[in-house]
Amino acid sequence: MNNSKGATGALHPASAAILVTGGAGFIGSNFIRYVFNKTDFAGTIVNYDKLTYAGNLSNLADIEKKFHNTGYVFERGDIRDYAKVEELIRKYGITIIVHFAAESHVDRSIFGPKEFVETNINGTFSLLEAARQLWAERSDVRFHHISTDEVYGSLGDSGYFFENTPYDPRSPYSASKAASDHLVRAYYHTYGLPVTLSNCSNNYGPYHFPEKLIPLIILNAVEGKPLPVYGDGRNVRDWLYVEDHADAIWQILLKGRAGETYNIGGECERENIEVVNAICDILEELRPPKDNTLIRKQSPAVGRYRELITFVGDRPGHDRRYAVNCDKIKKELGWSHRHNFEEGLRHTIEWYLRNTAWIEQIKSGEYTKWIEKNYTNYKKLKNEGQG
């Protein structure tokens, strides 16, 4: 590392002013909730979010109510807006940046990669520039970059992703995340900016936007709609309950070493079809089809949720298997996941069954149009014989 500036100053995350980008999204909002409710945090969090289709202020309505002006502030804006970010850094005395903001859905990146390049690459670059300016002025700075296991590519039946696994991204989404990771590391080596990175596996839990597999399947099943499974349904993902991810990020802020990357995973590999079956089985218990008026209306012949499963075409470039080795964060920082998949999934399904107003609000946005466009395409791919 060429750290011309010298040593970093002591960080005090628990009392710092932290700029969280993308805090109105799924993981960002769960992170903010976790920090306020489950740690000894007594500083300020500035949630900076553009509020794209995926950003939703009601994800943090409880935090806004409890901590507004006593530690929590929302500021709307784009991470590409360097002047605005600089202004906020000064206004709030920010020393730590925790960077979640991104375009995050692989299927959307297939339809429209431009937004992914602009936000994930150019946006991260702009934020890094603002952090570099701050680093020129003080030594107690940290830039934590949230990334994904998808940058490592696709595994066969065996093996794991380690922190030093070569990058091999295969979708416009993962390629844009890989590019942003490279920029973050370049700022460490070139300018000495104290960065940390984490590459995490698939998250699930409350407030997950229902374009992603788990919430989409829950919502469709409850409404008696087809449950679309791409290809043969045997692609494997490594699932982590979102609160465990939030805890891992907090541990990295507290104890992580500058310049280091930490892999985070759930050590919970499941084929997609297993996940979909598990959701169906839990719903059988929580909302039996015979008592579900929407099923009676939409698919009266259906006796069991599993009958709704529909194999569609395959995602172009669909990565076969992800599996993360997270020994480093376990050994160095003492983190490990606390929720097992079966409990976490049940809790998540219960949350979606309870939070109908949140779901209705999402469905009133551009969501329905997206679902129509995406699944019309997958039907077409199926008809063309792919999958």
Q: Which residues bind ligand NAD (CB under 6 A)?
A: 21-22, 24-28, 49-52, 54-55, 78-80, 100-102, 104, 119, 123, 146, 148, 177, 200, 202-203, 209
Contact between 106 and ligand TDX per CB under 6 A? yes
The tokens describing 332, both together, are 């160095």
| Strand, helix or coil for residue 26 | helix
How far apart are the C-alpha atoms of 212 and 57, rounded to whole Å? Answer: 19
- Evaluated on CA atoms 14, 15, 20, 26, the torsion sign reads positive
Q: What backbone torsions phi and psi does residue 252 show, to the nearest 5 degrees?
A: -65, -40
Which residue in the shown chain puts its C-beta closest to ligand TDX? Answer: 148
Contact between 55 and ligand TDX per CB under 6 A? no
Contact between 109 and ligand TDX per CB under 6 A? no
Structure letter (DSSP) for residue 265: -
Closer by beta carbon to ligand NAD, 148 or else 171: 148
Beta 269-271 vs 236-241: how paired, if at all? antiparallel
How far apart are the C-alpha atoms of 247 and 264, rounded to whole Å? Answer: 10
- Judged by beta carbon distances under 5 to 8 A according to partner kind, the member of ligand TDX, ligand NAD, none in contact with residue 213 is ligand TDX
Q: What is the CA radius of gyration of the chain?
A: 21
Which one of 7-15, 77-85, 223-231, 299-307 is the stretch in contact with ligand TDX (CB under 6 A)? 223-231
Residue 374 CA to its chain's centroid (Å): 20
Which one of 225-233, 329-337, 355-363, 379-387 is the stretch in contact with ligand TDX (CB under 6 A)? 225-233
Q: What are the residue numbers of the active site?
A: 149-150, 173
Q: 45, 130, 193, 216: which one contacts ligand TDX (CB under 6 A)?
A: 216
Which residues are within 8 A (CB) of 122 and not within 5 positions of it... i.e. 6 or more apart? 80
Task: Calculate the CA dihedral of residues 146, 150, 156, 160 and round it to 10 degrees.
Answer: -10
Closer by beta carbon to ligand TDX, 114 or else 234: 234
Q: 33, 50, 105, 108: which one contacts ligand TDX (CB under 6 A)?
A: 105
Closer by beta carbon to ligand NAD, 22 or else 233: 22
Task: Looking at residues 260 to 279 of the shown chain, list those that interact with ligand TDX (rule: CB under 6 A).
Answer: 272
Shortest Å distance, C-beta 65 to ligand TDX: 28
